[in-house]
């Protein structure tokens, strides 16, 4: 099988949309300090690009959870691989995700973070596949709503590859 990637959301389109999201977040969080939680590894590119455009005071922490194996299908429970470094009690936290698919990862994460008593929790996702939703999670900030296609790039992987692509691409498998 040969893998090919076709450009789906270009670098320029990503930048324009992230500008718009940052503008909205800067307005919504005026006067607050925003505590960003970047969900590794997929959200690193999005978090960096978004955070560079934020003008409100920002703190950044990282969590890593696993829900997918090395394939394209979801696997059972989520597991916390890397937990928060600092307490979030009383903080305005924003979870930054690469993609909202079934919603399993985010619904579990939100449940977990609620137990830490933050002042508020919001969700910012670069991509959303609403047709795949199994858990009732909604993003407060959403870059692009997409159909049920497997995408890679700008942080998103297939078997740990393609994260470094500067655009979002659709992965196609072809016979050799
Ligand atoms: P959920 O828990 O089903 O919502 O899945 C969310 C996670 O699945 C994301 O953070 C991604 O790591 C992964 N995922 C879902 N769809 C895609 C895709 O199209 N490409 C790459 N990873 C994906
Ligand atoms: Mg992932």
User: Domain residues for 79?
Assistant: 11-148
Does residue 112 sit in helix, strand or coil? helix
1 in a structural domain = no
* CATH number for 108: 3.40.50.2020
157 in a structural domain = no
Instruction: Determine contact, residues 95/121, Cβ cutoff 8 Å.
Output: yes
Total domains in the chain come to: 1
53 in a structural domain = yes
Mutate to test the pocket of ligand 1, among 38, 65, 98 (most ligand atoms within 8 A of CB): 98
Determine if ligand 1 sits within 6 Å of the CB of residue 42: yes
124 in a structural domain = yes
Mean of pLDDT over the chain: 93
Determine if ligand 1 sits within 6 Å of the CB of residue 107: no
Model pTM? 0.93
Residue 175: band (very low, low, confident or very high) from pLDDT cuts 50, 70, 90: confident
Mutate to test the pocket of ligand 1, among 156, 164, 168, 173 (most ligand atoms within 8 A of CB): 156
Tens of pLDDT, residues 114-139: 999 999 999 999 999 999 999 999 99
Does residue 110 sit in helix, strand or coil? helix
123 in a structural domain = yes
């Amino acid at each position: 099988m040969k893998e090919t990637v076709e450009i789906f959301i270009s670098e320029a389109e990503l930048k324009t949309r992230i500008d718009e999201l940052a503008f909205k977040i800067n307005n919504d969080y005026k006067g607050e300090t925003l505590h960003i939680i970047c969900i590794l590894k997929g959200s690193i590119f999005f978090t960096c690009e978004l955070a560079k455009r934020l003008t409100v005071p920002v703190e950044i922490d990282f969590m890593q959870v696993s829900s997918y194996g090395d394939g394209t299908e979801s696997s059972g429970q989520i597991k916390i691989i890397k937990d928060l470094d600092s307490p979030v009690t009383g903080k305005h936290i924003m979870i930054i995700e690469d993609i909202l698919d079934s919603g399993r990862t985010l619904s579990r994460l939100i449940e977990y973070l609620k137990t830490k008593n933050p002042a508020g929790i919001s969700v910012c996702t670069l991509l959303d596949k609403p047709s795949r939703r199994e858990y009732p999670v909604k993003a407060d900030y959403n870059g692009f709503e997409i159909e049920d296609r497997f995408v890679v790039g700008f942080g998103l992987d297939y078997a740990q590859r393609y994260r470094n692509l500067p655009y979002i691409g659709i992965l196609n498998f072809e016979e050799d």
